[in-house]
């Protein structure tokens, strides 16, 4: 049975689930205008995908994820024309990528291609019942339920990303030196494309890397304070008629905090350039003896200096009552909350709260150092508990039970990557995320009995 329509009237998630539940075999073609994609089904399972987007070609995809270099791709493409083999087979034969890594990346490429369609606002689709490509293609098996779950998570993630990276035309600007930063290979490669002139879209096209991965990486580094994003640059178009005058409201002067009842003393002598002694703050209390224009001694705890014609300025000397300690900053409060969570072995809360402290108003280098120290202590605590990046996780539940687990979309996505052969570090190659986040995630999954190591 053929089916056709538009994504405006039938959402991709609904379409994929309909084909899965109907155990359909055939090719789903989706035309987005500039790009056409194909998703191949066998008995309701997704077995492969194809795309006309050059950035989704296998060679570009492997380069963007750091598995091979451009030279290897060019050599393999030339050999492909002569040998009439699949590009992946040639790359494995050349020894530039292992067979198991190729299988992982083919699976990831197919998934990323489908996730991209979730962001399309419209697109004409046709399902060609019973039709599969005549040429050879490497088969895999993707669970539609998990594709739909992750695709929906990506949509939610895009909402969060746009809080920091408002559009593909926005221009990222580096505000730190990349050298000393601890970065994953994919992160560093993306950030090296930031030149204060290229837009997010330019970086995606130039690096031949998926726009979602680019935007997600930049958003993370905006939150860390490594990158700032400027709005898209627009060309001003002259309009007829006089330009409206811009009214700039007057800026009120900002003063430091003073003891109750005190306020900064402003008088002609200060305006004329009088500079009080170093470290002393001029104070004025209405009605106190010795205020400007009135002779007299300063009250206890305050000194005075004559400025001519019997007038005096009064200064805090430190002899009075000790001032109350300043209230804790937002960053300091968050650091304390993170320390409490760490002591309670609530690692997920500890890491999340440490990061909030990093971006809190008033955070500084001292806060940044304490955050790094805190994350390192979380890592050490998890490793003492027998879990590290070299650990090989194994599922404790069957694949048929995964969809029923009460886990977050990210946890569910990681669970589908576990096959009992790859360690956590290898899994991170196809799903880039901070190492500490991965350790916390797998520690939680192990604690809940979903995996063992």
Among 194-203, 266-275, 324-333, 370-379, the least confident range: 266-275
Considering the domain architecture, whether residues 178 and 196 belong to the same structural domain is answered as yes
Q: Give residue 159's pLDDT.
A: 86
Q: How many angstroms separate the CA atoms of 426 and 421, rounded? A: 10
Here the tokens at position 267 are 């008088």
Considering the domain architecture, whether residues 62 and 141 belong to the same structural domain is answered as yes
Considering the domain architecture, whether residues 8 and 140 belong to the same structural domain is answered as yes
Among 131-135, 314-318, 320-324, the least confident range: 314-318
The answer as to whether 256 is a domain residue is: no
Q: Is the pLDDT of residue 438 over 70?
A: yes
The answer as to whether 436 is a domain residue is: yes
Pairing of strands 45-51, 451-452: unpaired
How far CA 329 is from CA of 252, 334, 355, 424, in Å, comes to: 24, 9, 15, 37
Give me the helices (H) in 175-312, please: 185-191, 200-207, 211-223, 268-271
229 and 218 Cβ atoms separated by less than 8 Å: yes
Considering the domain architecture, whether residues 15 and 95 belong to the same structural domain is answered as yes
Q: Considering only residues 290 and 131, tell me which one the structure prediction assigns the higher pLDDT.
A: 131
pLDDT band, very low/low/confident/very high, at 387 (cuts 50, 70, 90): very high
Structural domains in the chain (count): 5
Considering the domain architecture, whether residues 12 and 147 belong to the same structural domain is answered as yes
The answer as to whether 255 is a domain residue is: no
Q: Give residue 31's pLDDT.
A: 93
Considering the domain architecture, whether residues 392 and 298 belong to the same structural domain is answered as no
Q: Give residue 283's pLDDT.
A: 43
The answer as to whether 253 is a domain residue is: no
Considering the domain architecture, whether residues 371 and 390 belong to the same structural domain is answered as no
Q: How many angstroms separate the CA atoms of 182 and 277, rounded? A: 46
Q: What is the DSSP letter of 305?
A: E
How far CA 183 is from CA of 180, 213, 361, in Å, comes to: 9, 15, 25
Q: Give residue 38's pLDDT.
A: 93
Q: Is 388 helix (H, G, I), strand (E, B) or coil?
A: coil
pLDDT band, very low/low/confident/very high, at 384 (cuts 50, 70, 90): very high
219 and 192 Cβ atoms separated by less than 8 Å: no
Q: How many angstroms separate the CA atoms of 167 and 173, rounded? A: 14
Nearest to 132 by CA among 51, 28, 3: 28
Average pLDDT in the 63-81 region? 80
Considering the domain architecture, whether residues 143 and 180 belong to the same structural domain is answered as no
Q: What is the mean pLDDT of the chain?
A: 76
Q: Give residue 244's pLDDT.
A: 43
Considering the domain architecture, whether residues 25 and 42 belong to the same structural domain is answered as yes
Considering the domain architecture, whether residues 24 and 95 belong to the same structural domain is answered as yes
Nearest to 417 by CA among 401, 437, 431, 396: 431
State the greatest distance between any 2 C-alpha atoms of the chain, in Å, as a whole number. Answer: 103
The answer as to whether 347 is a domain residue is: yes
DSSP string, 376-436: HHHHHHHHHTT--TT---EESS-HHHHTTS---HHHHHHHTT--SSS-HHHHHHHS---HH
Q: Is the pLDDT of residue 356 over 50?
A: yes
**Site of tokens 């073609």:** 29
Nearest to 28 by CA among 168, 112, 123, 120: 123
Q: Is the pLDDT of residue 408 over 80?
A: no
The answer as to whether 248 is a domain residue is: no
Percent of the chain with pLDDT over 90: 18
Q: Give residue 26's pLDDT.
A: 93
Considering the domain architecture, whether residues 271 and 331 belong to the same structural domain is answered as no
The answer as to whether 404 is a domain residue is: yes
Q: Is the pLDDT of residue 168 over 90?
A: no
232 and 202 Cβ atoms separated by less than 8 Å: no
The answer as to whether 322 is a domain residue is: no
Q: Give residue 265's pLDDT.
A: 43
Among 128-142, 231-245, 387-401, the least confident range: 231-245
Considering the domain architecture, whether residues 398 and 357 belong to the same structural domain is answered as no
Of 230, 254, 273, which one is at a domain's C-terminal end?
230
Average pLDDT in the 15-35 region? 91
pLDDT tens for 84-95 read: 788 888 888 888
Of 152, 176, 191, which one is at a domain's C-terminal end?
152
Pairing of strands 302-308, 282-284: unpaired
pLDDT tens for 409-428 read: 667 777 877 888 888 888 77
**Residue 364 structural domain:** 327-378
Of 152, 184, 207, which one is at a domain's C-terminal end?
152
């Amino acid at each position: 049975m053929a089916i056709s329509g538009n994504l405006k009237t039938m959402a991709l998630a609904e379409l994929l689930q309909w084909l899965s539940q109907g155990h359909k075999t055939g090719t789903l073609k989706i035309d987005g205008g500039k790009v056409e994609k194909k998703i191949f089904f066998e008995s309701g399972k997704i077995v492969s995908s194809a795309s006309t987007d050059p950035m989704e070609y296998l060679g570009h995809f492997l380069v963007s994820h750091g598995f091979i270099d451009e030279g290897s791709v060019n050599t393999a493409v030339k050999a492909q024309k002569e040998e009439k083999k699949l590009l992946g087979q040639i790359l494995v034969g050349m020894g530039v990528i292992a067979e198991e890594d190729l299988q992982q990346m083919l699976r990831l490429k197919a998934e990323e291609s489908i996730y991209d369609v979730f962001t399309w606002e419209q697109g004409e689709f046709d399902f060609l019942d019973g039709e599969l490509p005549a040429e050879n293609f490497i088969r895999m098996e993707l669970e539609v339920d998990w594709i739909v779950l992750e695709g929906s998570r990506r949509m939610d993630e895009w909402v969060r990303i746009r809080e920091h990276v408002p559009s593909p035309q926005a221009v990222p600007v580096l505000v730190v030196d990349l050298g000393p930063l601890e970065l994953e290979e994919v992160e560093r490669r993306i950030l090296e494309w930031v030149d204060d002139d290229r837009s997010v879209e330019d970086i995606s096209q130039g690096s031949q890397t998926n726009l979602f991965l680019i935007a997600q990486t930049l958003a993370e580094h905006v939150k860390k304070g490594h990158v700032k994003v400027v709005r898209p640059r627009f060309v001003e178009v002259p309009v007829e008629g006089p330009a409206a005058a811009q009214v700039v409201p007057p800026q009120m002067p900002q003063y430091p905090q003073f003891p109750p009842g005190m306020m900064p003393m402003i008088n002609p002598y200060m305006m004329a350039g009088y500079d009080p002694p170093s470290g002393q703050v001029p104070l004025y209390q209405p009605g106190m003896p010795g205020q400007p224009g009135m002779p007299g001694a300063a009250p206890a705890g305050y000194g005075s200096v004559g400025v001519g014609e019997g007038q005096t300025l009064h200064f805090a000397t430190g002899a009075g009552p000790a001032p109350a300690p300043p209230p804790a900053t937002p960053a300091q409060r968050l650091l304390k909350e993170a320390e409490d969570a760490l002591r309670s072995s609530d690692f997920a809360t500890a890491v999340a709260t440490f990061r909030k402290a990093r971006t809190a108003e008033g955070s500084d280098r001292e806060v940044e150092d304490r955050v790094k120290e805190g994350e390192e202590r979380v890592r050490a605590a998890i490793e003492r508990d027998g879990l590290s990046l070299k650990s090989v996780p194994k599922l404790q539940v069957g694949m048929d039970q995964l969809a029923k687990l009460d886990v977050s979309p990210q946890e569910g996505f990681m669970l589908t990557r576990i096959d009992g052969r790859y360690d956590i570090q290898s899994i991170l190659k196809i799903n880039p995320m901070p190492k500490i986040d991965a350790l916390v995630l797998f520690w939680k999954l192990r604690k809940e009995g979903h995996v063992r190591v």
